[in-house]
Amino acid sequence: MTHQDGTPEGPIADAVTGNWVDTWAPARTRPFLRLSRADRPIGTWLLLLPCWWSLLLAMLHTGSASLYDAWIALGCALGAFLMRGAGCTWNDITDRHIDGSVERTAQRPIPSGQVGVRAALIWMAAQSLVALLILLTFPPNAVFLGFASLIPVAIYPFAKRFTWWPQVFLGLAFNWGALLAWTAHTGALEWPAFVLYLAGIAWTLFYDTIYAHQDAEDDALIGVKSTARLFGDATRKWLRLFLMNTIVLLGLAIVWAAQNASILALVVALGGPWAMGWHLAWQLRTFDADDGPHLLRLFRSNRDAGLIPLPFFAVAFFL
């Protein structure tokens, strides 16, 4: 199928097979939903999971929970979907001249001509506005953090032009919810949330380096920087380092957050990073920089890796 100007129209190369956008969404909405990556939900999960980690650890820290915490969890989920969509729209606007030169991204809505820049800007603003309405239901300090999150979101698309470490900027943006959700529950930003934030950044460096290896050859041709290109054959060593930092920092955040909890609750909560570490170790063991489809599967499997600590944190709260 082609667009009215003759450009290709259809599922994006790395979209989930049989996703709801390509299957059920009205045809006119599909380019905009694809622009928001609604056909690739893994990014929403990776944005959301640090929020839920933080909320549960904040509950463990204070020893309290309320119905409002359920709204924080739901608000974070809705906000993650909307702000991931707005962020991806902004990313595609800024990368429109690059995406057309990369095989995996050439059919994205803007470089393929399905959506114009003006329409994309309006779509980005609409998503951001709805997310703002949700954010305004949170405490003032959390609202301030929500506005501050726009700084790393705005910078990230340009990072690959000036640094070999754009994944750090992605980590700064994608794990901001660890700061926001903690503050939404406690009313103040405290040290356990910062340590959790650092753990999330290390995790992002792990999974996005894996992801970036899909485009390493195209990126080299057009001069785009990434940790995948920087590390090259040493990637396994760096992934191991990121894995260790993720688990150690997550453990430290738990110990700090659970100072007033029982020893049993602390031990159970620490089971979360231990179990997650086994999943990341499996990813590292099966990593193959030359197997694009497997790299994508490994990247997507980080949804499951990030879900693993949640039941441990939840059980620890009730102990």
What DSSP string runs through 167-206? HHHHHHHHTTHHHHHHHHHHSS--HHHHHHHHHHHHHHHH
CA pair distance 142, 187, nearest whole angstrom: 7
For residue range 187-221, list pLDDT tens digits in order: 999 999 999 999 999 999 999 999 999 988 877 87
CA pair distance 253, 197, nearest whole angstrom: 9
Report the range out of 10-19, 53-62, 102-111 with the highest average pLDDT.
53-62
Lowest mean pLDDT among 5-9, 231-235, 262-266, 292-296: 5-9
What is the average pLDDT value for the chain, to the nearest integer? 91
Lowest mean pLDDT among 166-175, 221-230, 247-256: 221-230
Q: What residues contact 232, with CB distance under 8 A and at least 6 apart?
A: none
pLDDT-derived band at 22 (thresholds 50, 70, 90) equals: confident
Per residue, what are the HEC states of 282-302?
Answer: HHHHHCCCCCHHHHHHHHHCH
For residue range 90-141, list pLDDT tens digits in order: 988 887 877 666 666 667 778 878 888 899 999 999 999 999 999 999 999 9
The reported pTM is: 0.91
CA pair distance 157, 185, nearest whole angstrom: 31
- Residue 11's pLDDT is 63
pLDDT-derived band at 157 (thresholds 50, 70, 90) equals: confident
For residue range 272-282, list pLDDT tens digits in order: 999 999 999 99
- What is the average per-residue pLDDT within 157-164? 89
- Residue 222's pLDDT is 81
For residue range 134-151, list pLDDT tens digits in order: 999 999 999 999 999 999
SS3 259: coil
Nearest C-alpha neighbor of 290 from the set 227, 239, 208, 214: 214
**Axis crossing angle, helix 42-62 with helix 235-257, rounded to the nearest 10:** 30
Q: Which two structure tokens, joined as six digits, stand for 241?
A: 């380092």
Number of helical (H) and strand (E) elements in the chain, helices listed first: 18, 0
CA pair distance 59, 314, nearest whole angstrom: 9
Nearest C-alpha neighbor of 238 from the set 186, 189, 287, 183: 287
Q: Which two structure tokens, joined as six digits, stand for 73?
A: 């969890």
The region, left, alpha or beta by phi > 0 then psi within -120 to 50, assigned to residue 8 is beta
- Residue 109's pLDDT is 79
Beta-bridge partner residues of 217: none
Q: Please name the amino acid found at residue 232.
A: G
Task: Say if residues 254 and 248 touch (Cβ distance below 8 Å).
Answer: no
- Residue 285's pLDDT is 97
Task: Say if residues 124 and 86 touch (Cβ distance below 8 Å).
Answer: yes
**Dihedral of CA 267/310/306/206: which sign?**
negative
For residue range 262-309, list pLDDT tens digits in order: 999 999 999 999 999 999 999 999 999 999 999 999 999 999 999 999
CATH code, 29-318: 1.10.357.140
CA pair distance 229, 214, nearest whole angstrom: 10
**How many Cα atoms sit within 13 Å of 34 on the Cβ side?**
30
Q: Please name the amino acid found at residue 286.
A: T
